[in-house]
Chain A
Amino acid sequence: MSTKTNQSIWLAEPGDGFSIAFAGSSIEEFAMNVKRRSVPLSYDYCCQLVYRHGELVPVVDLSMGNTQTDQRFYAVLFLHAGKSSEHKIIGLHLTEPPRKVILNDKDFSRFDPEQCGHWKNAALSGYFYEGKHIPLIDPKSMRSDFFIDELNQTAMIA
């Protein structure tokens, strides 16, 4: 009987100083040069919407105010965020295309969620890779009060 020891996940850079990861099954699509619109009276972490397949998709953008962010393109990772008929998808702005990495099971045991800032509230689990504690994010939790409240504490209205 064989035991699976390696897993593949997608590593993403949202531009807020943290590296995060998603399971392949969480990802709907990665798109570059996405057309988006600003929403008046919104919080600056989620002030843009994308019209996609007849749905308004909110885009979480945590790179605001990060002067290191390269704005030559606007890339969005579209994620599965629920089963309800409306708002099934949530977008996350990335500053670089996501990359696939293969991890060994032992990498997961060294993970410390307290090192992941606001992302700890959306993490299913995580791993330790290249000297970083990287949370494995559940996109559904990006709509949770825990995650949003923490962003609200520091956010200004856009």
Chain B
Amino acid sequence: MSDTNFVVITLGSLNLALPASELMLINEREKVTMKHGISMTQASDWQVPVYQLNEELRLVRKRNNKALYCAVFSDTNKRPLWGLICNQVTQKNTSQQPIKIPQISKHPHSPLINVIVDNTPEKDSEDLWIFTTTTQALTHYLERSLSNEHQDQSINMAC
């Protein structure tokens, strides 16, 4: 991933960076609608599912009224895949090199890859940490999370 060309989406206290080339559009939150119990939004001619993750990257069902945007990401063929509800979307340019997350510090299913630590001296506040991922890695993670959630529901119904 190019360190000069990515978008950062804010999920609570988590800053998550994805390649800017994979961001298709940003919809206002109002353009997310419920269809058959699934949150959807329009992206060009497509209806895509919309997910909400918390700052620990867990799927959340409860509506977050503070989140204003829905960022829609696409695959390499520019086909929209899914949207993410988020508080903020920014384009970030930095000269800081991404540093790989140590293997011992992440679960094998984690979509997180690197950390960019923005410690520019003009800032008085703490270093800004940005965790990087890719649309592909996040897609696999979302699919796995949804599958696990479905299995849990099936088990609960069986009980």
Residues of A bordering B, CB below 8 Å: 35, 37, 39-43, 46-49, 51, 54-58, 60, 86-87, 90, 143, 148, 157-158
Q: Could you say which residues of chain A place their CB within 8 Å of the CB of B56? A: 40-41, 158
Identity of the chain B residue whose Cβ is nearest the Cβ of A35 in the assembled complex: B126
Q: Could you say which residues of chain B place their CB within 8 Å of the CB of A35? A: 126
| Of the residues A41, A48, A49, A58, contact of B107 by C-beta under 8 Å | A41
Contact in complex: A40, B102 (CB < 8 Å): no
Q: Could you say which residues of chain B place their CB within 8 Å of the CB of A87? A: 102
What is the size category of the interface that chain B forms with chain A?
Answer: 20 to 34
Q: A49-B115, A56-B115 are in contact. Are A39 and B105 (CB under 8 A)?
A: yes
| Of the residues B104, B117, B119, B131, contact of A40 by C-beta under 8 Å | B131
Q: Is residue B78 within 8 Å, beta carbon to beta carbon, of the partner chain?
A: no
Contact in complex: A86, B100 (CB < 8 Å): yes
Q: Could you say which residues of chain B place their CB within 8 Å of the CB of A47? A: 105
Q: Is residue B57 within 8 Å, beta carbon to beta carbon, of the partner chain?
A: yes
Q: A40-B55, A51-B117 are in contact. Are A148 and B104 (CB under 8 A)?
A: yes
Q: Could you say which residues of chain A place their CB within 8 Å of the CB of B14? A: 40
Q: Could you say which residues of chain A place their CB within 8 Å of the CB of B129? A: 37, 51
Q: Could you say which residues of chain A place their CB within 8 Å of the CB of B126? A: 35
Q: Is residue B4 within 8 Å, beta carbon to beta carbon, of the partner chain?
A: no
Q: Beyond A41-B56, A58-B105: 4 further Cβ-contacts under 8 Å?
A: A42-B105, A42-B106, A55-B99, A148-B104
Q: Could you say which residues of chain B place their CB within 8 Å of the CB of A40? A: 14, 55-57, 110, 112, 131
| Of the residues B57, B99, B100, B119, contact of A41 by C-beta under 8 Å | B57
Q: A40-B131, A41-B56 are in contact. Are A56 and B106 (CB under 8 A)?
A: no
Q: Could you say which residues of chain A place their CB within 8 Å of the CB of B115? A: 49, 51, 56
Q: Is residue B127 within 8 Å, beta carbon to beta carbon, of the partner chain?
A: yes
> Which residues 105-153 in B have Cβ within 8 Å of A in the complex?
105-107, 109-112, 115, 117, 119, 126-127, 129, 131
Contact in complex: B127, A51 (CB < 8 Å): yes
Rounded to whole angstroms, the CA-CA distance of A55 and B117 in the bound complex is: 10
Residue among B57, B104, B119 with most chain A CB within 10 A = B104
Rounded to whole angstroms, the CA-CA distance of A49 and B110 in the bound complex is: 15
Q: Is residue B101 within 8 Å, beta carbon to beta carbon, of the partner chain?
A: yes
Identity of the chain B residue whose Cβ is nearest the Cβ of A39 in the assembled complex: B105
8 A-B pairs closest in CB distance: A41-B110, A58-B102, A58-B105, A40-B57, A41-B107, A40-B56, A56-B99, A58-B104
